[in-house]
Amino acid sequence: MQEVLSMTYLWLKAGHIIFMVFWMAGLFMLPRQMIYLHPAAPGSEEAALWAKRMGLLRKIILTPSIIVVWILGLLLAQTLQVWGEGWLHVKLLLVVLLSGFHGYIVAQSRKMAAGERPLSEKQLRMWGEVPGVLLALIVVTVVVFRYM
């Protein structure tokens, strides 16, 4: 029985890491696509092309990945029985912040696809750094603080 639980844990962990990479790739790509859309005239062919690309990124990569990351992450926490550990609370807070960023940047991308320009290119560049900072904090929390 222990062997089955060990294998389940390893498959959950592998899936969690794989989909986390997909999610992060999408979160790095979306602000960049928004920067490329920014100078395009609303209603132009170029704007329509970037809007389509952003929609596909959201539909094919971002939405499925965030769902799978959350499900597998919660299953991992349950498998390990680590609900009371401080590092997990910090990680969950950071992942909630990352999920909030996901929602914010998706909402802004939809506004841009509709022809609005709610953020400047400079703001988009700044927002584009958020996933990297949160990723670094999450990795340090799990890899370093978990074992302290």
Provide the pLDDT for residue 97. Answer: 98
Residue 1 confidence class, pLDDT cut points 50, 70, 90: low
Say whether 38 counts as a known binding-site residue. no
pLDDT in tens, 107-131: 999 999 999 999 999 999 999 999 9
Q: What is the DSSP letter of 147?
A: G
Single-letter amino acid code for the residue at 66: I
Average per-residue pLDDT for the chain: 95
Report H helices in 81-120: 86-113
How many whole angstroms separate alpha carbon 35 and alpha carbon 121? 6
Provide the pLDDT for residue 5. Answer: 67
Say whether 122 counts as a known binding-site residue. no
- pLDDT over 70 for what percent of the chain? 98
pLDDT in tens, 2-41: 677 678 999 999 999 999 999 999 999 999 999 999 999 9
For the segment 35-52, the average pLDDT, to the nearest whole number, is 97
In terms of Cβ atoms closer than 10 Å to its own Cβ (0-12, 13-18, 19+), residue 144 is exposed
Provide the pLDDT for residue 3. Answer: 76
How many whole angstroms separate alpha carbon 66 and alpha carbon 85? 23
Number of neighbouring beta carbons within 10 Å of residue 72: 20
pLDDT higher at 93 or 7:
93
